[in-house]
């Protein structure tokens, strides 16, 4: 996990700079595809995903190592070939896991966060799940196990395969000639993120587009069908934690409400979006019918509000980076306390962004959480050994954060009241 943390320490600033560059590039070209609040939500989603991974909050049911021990037939000699086989195997696995995520109600919950943005830009790539706690699809890596690809090779290639999917989340790159027939391009992935009827559940490949063409899920981008992004049941929030569990909560409520025993099971195993008829009529959920006629989720905020949000984003990125750089030093169980603070921080900030009535509760909870850590340990997880005045800086930040949250929250309420008049 320490190695993973070091990799993320390098990757995070690169991704962040590329996201900012895309914002600047779009502004300069007169085609800004990045909504600031949406971008912040995406960045914070990335923070929660990284934190969840560092905490190891996932269980593998029959992981790759088990398949390697029981099904290995031959052993590929170390060299470039074993890494190529690992990459292709991961890509094959990624296609089928992705397809299942889109097709089955229960598994859609772990993927909904990635499609929740109503924009399409590099920041969207950072919207990764924190709601997937059980991993059961390692059997798709059986071809790699048969060929004896070592676990360490799979572990090495996996983050490379994941990071290689970042670049094609953009509207600024059009078609790419002959590469359209080989790899997943921005054009292919725009189709995948679109909610147009012609595009739903298409282009599920991650690196090589061949899987879609082999298994019947390919769809080229059409000039007469401009992509509209998001999900057909809009999440209407910037809060990535809420988004991660919104669909799951709907499944739970539908299960409790339906009178049919078979429907209680089908709620989880049925096709994505399926709901029992008795529940759907009694408890309707808004769904977009006209993709070109719905209103995107947005909130009007002052320049000062936006500036403060960016200050908070910088703060949480620094706090997360410190955690990644000192995983071993923080140790367990302290790392879980640290991770808990990050989740509360994200919830508090996005509650303020949404303008919810509970924004102050979450901000005060965040502050109480931090103060408790300072008072009980006399430090912020060893930070005073690096910067002697870390405690003073930390307490000063807490006071400033509470004061600004109250001021901006009250100002937002007044602004909303004026808009309603």
Q: Give the model's pLDDT for residue 335.
A: 95
Q: Give the model's pLDDT for residue 62.
A: 73
Cβ contact 217:224 at 8 Å: no
Distance CA 297, CA 295 (A): 7
Q: Give the model's pLDDT for residue 1.
A: 63
Q: Give the model's pLDDT for residue 367.
A: 97
CA 158 to chain centre: 17
pLDDT in tens, 263-284: 999 999 999 999 999 999 999 9
H helical segments located in 164-295: 186-193, 210-215, 240-257, 261-269, 277-282
Q: Give the model's pLDDT for residue 364.
A: 98
Average pLDDT along the chain, 421 residues, taken 10 residues at a time: 81 95 96 96 97 83 84 84 94 96 96 97 96 82 91 91 96 96 98 97 98 98 97 97 97 97 97 96 95 92 95 97 94 95 98 96 98 94 92 96 95 56 46
Every domain of the chain and the residues it spans: 58-215, 303-420
What b-and-e string marks burial along 195-216, b requiring 16 or more CB atoms within 10 Å of the CB? bbeebeebbbbbbbbbbbeeee
The whole model's pTM is what? 0.93
Q: Give the model's pLDDT for residue 413.
A: 59
pLDDT in tens, 112-156: 999 999 999 999 999 999 998 777 778 889 989 999 999 899 989
Strand partners, 194: 229
Q: Give the model's pLDDT for residue 418.
A: 44
């Amino acid at each position: 996990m320490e190695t993973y943390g070091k990799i993320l320490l390098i990757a995070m600033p690169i991704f962040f700079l590329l996201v900012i560059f895309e914002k600047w590039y779009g502004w300069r070209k007169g085609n800004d595809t990045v909504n600031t609040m949406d971008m912040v939500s995406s960045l914070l989603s990335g923070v929660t995903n990284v934190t969840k991974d560092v905490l190891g909050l996932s269980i593998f049911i029959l992981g790759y190592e088990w398949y390697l021990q029981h099904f290995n037939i031959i052993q590929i000699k170390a060299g470039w070939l074993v890494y190529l086989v690992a990459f292709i195997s991961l890509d094959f696995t990624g296609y089928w896991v992705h397809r299942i995520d889109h097709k089955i109600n229960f598994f859609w919950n772990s993927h909904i966060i990635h499609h929740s943005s109503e924009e399409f830009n590099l920041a969207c790539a950072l919207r990764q799940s924190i709601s997937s706690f059980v991993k059961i699809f390692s059997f798709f890596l059986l071809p790699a196990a048969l060929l004896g690809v070592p676990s360490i090779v799979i572990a090495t290639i996996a983050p490379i395969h994941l990071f290689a999917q970042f670049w094609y989340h953009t509207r600024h790159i059009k078609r790419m000639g002959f590469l359209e027939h080989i790899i997943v391009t921005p054009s292919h992935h725009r189709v995948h993120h679109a909610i147009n009827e012609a595009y739903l559940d298409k282009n599920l490949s991650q690196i090589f587009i061949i899987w879609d063409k082999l298994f019947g899920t390919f769809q080229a981008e059409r000039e007469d069908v401009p992509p509209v992004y998001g999900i057909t049941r809009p999440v209407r929030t910037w809060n990535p934690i809420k988004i991660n569990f919104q669909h799951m909560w709907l499944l739970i409520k539908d299960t409790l409400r339906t009178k049919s025993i078979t429907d209680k099971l089908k709620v989880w195993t049925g096709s994505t979006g399926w709901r029992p008829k008795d529940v759907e009529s009694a408890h309707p959920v808004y769904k977009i019918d006209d993709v070109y006629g719905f209103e995107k989720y947005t909130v009007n905020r002052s320049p000062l509000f936006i500036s403060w949000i960016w200050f908070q984003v910088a703060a949480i990125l620094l706090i997360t980076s410190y955690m990644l750089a000192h995983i071993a030093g923080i140790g367990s169980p302290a790392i879980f306390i640290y991770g808990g603070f990050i989740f509360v921080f994200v919830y508090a900030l996005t509650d303020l962004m949404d303008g919810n009535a509970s924004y102050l509760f979450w901000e005060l909870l965040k502050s109480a959480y931090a103060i408790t850590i300072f008072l009980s340990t006399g430090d912020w997880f060893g930070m005073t050994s690096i910067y002697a005045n870390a405690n003073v800086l930390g307490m000063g930040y807490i006071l400033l954060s509470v004061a600004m949250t109250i001021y901006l929250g009250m100002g937002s309420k007044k602004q909303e009241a004026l808009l309603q008049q």
